[in-house]
Each structure stands twice: as structure tokens, then as C-alpha cells.
Amino acid sequence: MANIKTSEKKSKAQSMGMHTEILTGRTQQKFFNPDEAENFYYFGTYDVDFNKRTDLDVMNMSAPEANKEIENLMSQGYGTIVIKNPQGKHSLGVGILNKLNLIFEGSLGYFGMGSCDGPIVRINGRVGWSCAENLMAGKVVIEKNAGSCFGAAIRGGDLICKGSVGARTGIDMKGGTIIIGGDAGAFTGFMMQRGRIIILGDVGINLGDSMYDGTIFVGGEIGSYGSDAVDAELTSSDQDWLRRKLKVAEIGEDFDVSKMKKIVAGKKLWNYDNLEPTEKKGAI
Amino acid sequence: MCGIAGLIHRGKSSNVGSELQGMLQALKHRGEDSTGYALYGDTDGKHFIMRFKVGENVGEGSSSVMEDVSVYDERKKIVDQTLSEMGAKIVKEERTLPYSLRYEVDYETKDLLDFSQRIESIPGVEILSMGKSLEVIKDLGNAKMVCDRYSLDKLVGTHAIGHARMATESGVDIKSAHPFWGYPFSDVSVVHNGQLTNYWNNRRILENKGMRFMSECDSELIAVYIAQKMREGASLQEGMKDSLSGLDGVFTYFVATKNSLGMAKDTMAAKPLVLYESDDLVAMGSEEIAIRSVLPHEIDTYDPFDGEVKVWQI
């Protein structure tokens, strides 16, 4: 790898792997330019100012109405929105593909903050099933408990629950980090493919069942291991990463990470990459 | 999908009919084929309250066959005659709808098995509930429709459980609607969200032990299963814990008795439940919005874990 500190912008981007390929009969490379803002944001997103703040009372709004109003406020440049009286409504805050500082003063129902990319969210309450499903990037912090399927299929970002979570946390996750301050239910990390889960408390039965890859760190007791989930050595770099993550997450900063258990995939079920290209077609 | 809700006030009574209506109506998107209430009202405890039906609701969406109202009248007459033959005296009689009746009955017995068998031997007659406090009211439609139809909003009591049903494996009719009475136990009722996969095996075993099934709804199995465990001497909590291994499938269910309310969740935690617990009130439902209908201010709630059984007393 080239020396990133000394290389020019173009070669720097190349060495970091930040380029895309466009196939138009012959292969062309389009290089990533860190100075071009459009590389960072989706087309059609809003330029918001975090210092421009407003409240939104959703007591008498349906979820689609509330979500539409959030978008309307972003279009006016509001970068900090405080949602009042969410009252456990389902599907609030879904599909936000924008930088935004979003605060919920209360609890959410099912599917809250689903399919988001970029917002920083704090929920001063509890969340129901499937919170932050498919999160691409950003940070979601829940101050109380969470329901089942917490962070299902997330691709990136940080998802933090300061209380306890239900079953199947991080099911099918493909990246990102999930941090749980309390306990977690059965089938945590079920079929996870990448990313990391940190649980400071106890975890239920079948931990990491059929996981392809990724890492789970557990501070408390484990109900049982799932199929193909095995212990691994907790390295010093693991511990450094855990300390850093817990500090950033404002959770368990004094927690003794050296005693945590590390669980990874045994990869006995995992042979996809050993297949020949023609065999892969049949395997999908 | 179905939705379930329940609440228990500890140390006081409240307007549980209205409260449960609000909770179930908040869950109506989970199913409104039928809605049922099991309400534990404040009574003097002197008489049995028997809720029973002599026919089905054949309104829009029903899978039942239309019958003439005169058939209902005839069945009612036979019920009255049978009660008289058993030495049971009807103290109070209400006929809310042509097919749905509520009797207060003066009857001295501890085992309701023989009583129920004789009443239900009358074709078309089913006891929905029997108890000194329990009243099961269930009918087609959403929570508000059923509440209005039976004037349940003024019922005062200590606890209640209810069910908003999306019919899946059995018909849209009252006999398949929840809650189910824990036949033949006084004041026991059950609601369930989920699917049981060893229904027929368990049903055959229980029928061989003399238990009765009125529908082919898998949820009825839970009521009968718990009732049989209690007949064998188990406590409510013991029976519920046993069910975690005896019943196969995915389920969250509530059981209520005259003095208690319990919940159980299967070992895979596949069905939702949100719970709020304080010193004077426990409220729970398939979704938090059900609890919000009675507690609109900010509260702490949580999901019970897999394989968890909890029982609260009034």
C-alpha cells in the first residue's frame, strides 16, 4: 500500500480503495475526490445546519405525516429536530438519508429509524421491535430498553442501547457496531455476517447461531452457544477497541473489558469462498 | 398476526372494561376479525356468572351458517330447563343479543365439569365463561364495536385480558375467538398470540382425559392444557412453566384467574410482548401503543425474555 500521508489526492484515494468502476464496453475508473462534497451525500438531500433547531409535536400525527414533516423541516435547513410525544408510534424516523441531529422525547414502537443513512439520533425512551433495521451509517442511542430484532441487518453505524434488548439482536447484520448496556435475549447475532456486537450483561440461549463472520463480545453469562459459534482469544487490540467504543458510546466506561468473552464463527458452516466461480452461481 | 393485551390493578379496582377496550383498539391493525374480553368484575361472589351463546354472529365476514332466531329461543328454553333439572336457580338474566346471554346462577358445586357437559350437550350451545368474577365477551369486529355492542365500557373490576384476532387456521366465528375459558375451572381464561405445532397430539391426549374442545383453534389448547395441569394439582405458575416444553411452536399467552394474571413466552421469543410493571398496575400488550392508551405519560417498559413466565396477584 502506498504511503497515504505523502501521496497525492488521486493516488491517496486509489490506495484507500475509494473509487468506482463504470462498465461501458471498456472498463473506466472514476476516482473519488475528497474535495467534492457530492461524493459524501445522496443526490437530493438537504444542506442542514445543526445549530438551527426546532421542536415537532407528533401527538396527533400518523407516522407518515410525522416523517414527511421531518423531511419538510430538513428542507428548510433545520439540522436539529426534537420530536415530542412519539407515544410508541411505529415507523417513526424511517428512511432519513441525511445528516441530522434527531432527538425523540419518548418511546418508539416498531421499525423506528429503519433504513437510515447518516443521522445522529438519541431516543430518550424505549424502542419496539426492529429498531434501526438496515442502518447504513450514523449513530442511534436508546436510553432505555429495546425490543427484539434490534439492529437487524444493519450495514454500518453505531447502534447503542443503554438498557436490555430482546431476542435476535443483530440478526443478519452485515457491518457496524451494536452495543448493549444490559442483557440480551435468545439468538443474539443469529446469522450475522460482519460487524461487532458488544453485550455488557448476560445473553440468552443460542448466541451467534449460524453466524458467518463478525465478532460478539459478552461481559456476563452466556445461556448457550449457537451452532458454529466458538470462543476466540481476546487480544490486546480487541480490548483497546472495546475501551474506545464504550467511551464513545457513553456506556460502561469503567467496565473491565479484559474479562469479556469473544465469540466468532467456527466457519464449519462457512465454505462459500472455497467454491469455484461456477459453483458459486449454484450456491446462491 | 393477532394482538393481545392485559392489565391488573393491585389493591384497587378500575374501569377495566374501558381500559381494555382502549388497549385492544390500539392493536386493531393486528386483526379485527373478532375481539374478545375476559373481564374480572367486582361482584359479591355469591353467584356464578355464566356467559353463553346459543348461536353464532352471522354478520358480514362470518364463516357461520345463518339460523332462524326462533332456533336460538328454543335452545335457550332447553338451557333454562336443564339448569332447573340440575337445581341451578337463575337469579338474573340478560339477553344482550339474540345469540348471546348472561345469567347469574345460584348453584352449589365445586366441580363445573358435569355442569358444563350437560349444558353443552344441547346442540348449538357453548358456555363462553363460568365464574364468580369472570365474564368472557367475544364477538366479530374490532374492540370498539364489541365494546359498544355489549356495553362493556362501564364494567369495573381488578383485571382483564383481551384479544384482537386475525383469523388464520380456523373460522371467523365466536367459537374460534379468544379468550378461551379454562374449562371446567371457575374464573380461568386464556388469550394467545402465535401458532402451536403439536395441537392435534396434545388434543388427543387431553380428550382421552375427559377434557373438551369447542373449536379447532390451536389457542384453545392452551386453556385446556393449563386447566388439565391444574386438575392434576399444579399451581397456575407450575402449569404455565410446564407448557413451555409441553407446547411446541411460537407463542406468547396470558392466563387470568380470579386473583391473578400471568404471562408466558416461548423459548424462542418469537412473538412480541411489551410489559409495564409498577406497584399498583401491570399492563402488557403485543405493542407498546396498547399500554400507551392507558398510560399516556412517559413510562419504563421492557420485553420479557425467552422462556419467561410471570404471575401477578391483585
pLDDT given for residue A284 in this prediction: 47
State the Cα–Cα distance between residues A169 and A147, nearest whole angstrom: 9
Q: Which residues of B touch A89 (CB under 8 A)?
A: 289
Is the pLDDT assigned to residue A15 strictly greater than 50?
yes
Per the model's pLDDT, the better-predicted residue between B33 and A275 turns out to be B33
Shortest distance between the Cα of A126 and any Cα of chain B, in A, equals 7
Q: Where exactly are the structural domains of chain A?
A: 1-40, 53-283
CATH number at residue B221: 3.60.20.10
Lowest mean pLDDT among A12-21, A177-186, B26-35: A12-21
User: What one-letter code names the amino acid at A44?
Assistant: G
Own/partner contacts of B204-212, CB < 8 Å, gap of 24 or more, are: B210/B113, B211/B183, B212/B116, B212/B117, B212/B120, B212/B183
pLDDT given for residue A278 in this prediction: 64
In chain B, the N- to C-terminal Cα span, in Å, equals 30
A93 contacts A133 by C-beta, under 8 angstroms: no
Chain A segment 156-175 residues within 8 A of B by beta carbon are 163-168
Rounded to 5 degrees, what are φ and ψ at A67? -65, -35
Question: Would you call A222 an interface residue with chain B, using a CB distance cutoff of 8 Å?
Answer: no
Per the model's pLDDT, the better-predicted residue between B173 and B58 turns out to be B173
Is the pLDDT assigned to residue B170 strictly greater than 80?
no
Give residue B89's domain range: 3-313
B36 contacts B189 by C-beta, under 8 angstroms: no
**Cell digits of residue B217:** 383453534
State the Cα–Cα distance between residues B57 and B33, nearest whole angstrom: 12
pLDDT given for residue A16 in this prediction: 56
Shortest distance between the Cα of B262 and any Cα of chain A, in A, equals 19
Chain segment B41-66, per-residue pLDDT in tens:
998 889 999 999 999 887 777 777 77
Is the pLDDT assigned to residue A8 strictly greater than 70?
no
**Structural domain A53-283, CATH architecture:** 3 Solenoid (2.160)
DSSP letter string, A97-158: -S--EEEEES---TTTTTT-EEEEEEESS-B-TTTTTT--EEEEEESS-B-SSTTTT--SSE
Is the pLDDT assigned to residue B186 strictly greater than 50?
yes
Mutate to test the interface with B, among A126, A142, A150 (most CBs of B within 10 A): A126
- Mean pLDDT, residues B125-138 taken together: 95
Q: How many CB atoms lie within 10 A of CB B284?
A: 27
A134 contacts A114 by C-beta, under 8 angstroms: yes
Chain segment A147-176, per-residue pLDDT in tens:
999 999 999 999 999 999 999 999 999 999
Question: Would you call A91 an interface residue with chain B, using a CB distance cutoff of 8 Å?
Answer: no
Residues of B with CB under 8 A from a CB of A: 267-270, 272, 274, 287-289, 291-292, 296, 298-303, 305-307
Is the pLDDT assigned to residue A42 strictly greater than 80?
no
Task: Give B185's pLDDT tier (boundaries 50, 70, 90).
Answer: confident
Task: Give B110's pLDDT tier (boundaries 50, 70, 90).
Answer: low
Lowest mean pLDDT among B87-96, B281-290, B294-303: B294-303
State the Cα–Cα distance between residues A26 and A187, nearest whole angstrom: 47
Count of structural domains, chain B: 1
Percent share of chain B, pLDDT over 90: 74
Shortest distance between the Cα of A1 and any Cα of chain B, in A, equals 47
Q: Which residues of A touch B301 (CB under 8 A)?
A: 107, 126, 144-145
Task: Give B204's pLDDT tier (boundaries 50, 70, 90).
Answer: very high
Task: Tell me if B287 and A204 make a contact (CB, 8 A cut-off).
Answer: no
pLDDT given for residue B90 in this prediction: 96
Chain A segment 129-158 residues within 8 A of B by beta carbon are 129, 144-148
Total number of residues shown for chain A = 284
Is the pLDDT assigned to residue A282 strictly greater than 60?
no
pLDDT given for residue A22 in this prediction: 46
pLDDT given for residue A26 in this prediction: 42
pLDDT given for residue B19 in this prediction: 97
pLDDT given for residue A45 in this prediction: 83
| Mean pLDDT over each residue of chain A, to the nearest integer | 86
Contacts of B11 (CB under 8 A, 6+ apart): B280, B314
Task: Tell me if A205 and B300 make a contact (CB, 8 A cut-off).
Answer: no
pLDDT given for residue A23 in this prediction: 47
Question: Would you call A243 an interface residue with chain B, using a CB distance cutoff of 8 Å?
Answer: no
Task: Tell me if B287 and A110 make a contact (CB, 8 A cut-off).
Answer: yes
Q: Which residues of A touch B292 (CB under 8 A)?
A: 87-88
Is the pLDDT assigned to residue B266 strictly greater than 50?
yes
In Å, how far are A81, B146, B160, B191, B271 from B163, measured between CA atoms? 37, 12, 11, 6, 14
pLDDT given for residue A142 in this prediction: 97
**Cell digits of residue B220:** 384453545
Is the pLDDT assigned to residue A106 strictly greater than 90?
yes
pLDDT given for residue B176 in this prediction: 87
Is the pLDDT assigned to residue A19 strictly greater than 90?
no
Lowest mean pLDDT among A123-127, A260-264, A272-276, B67-71: A272-276
Task: Give A227's pLDDT tier (boundaries 50, 70, 90).
Answer: confident
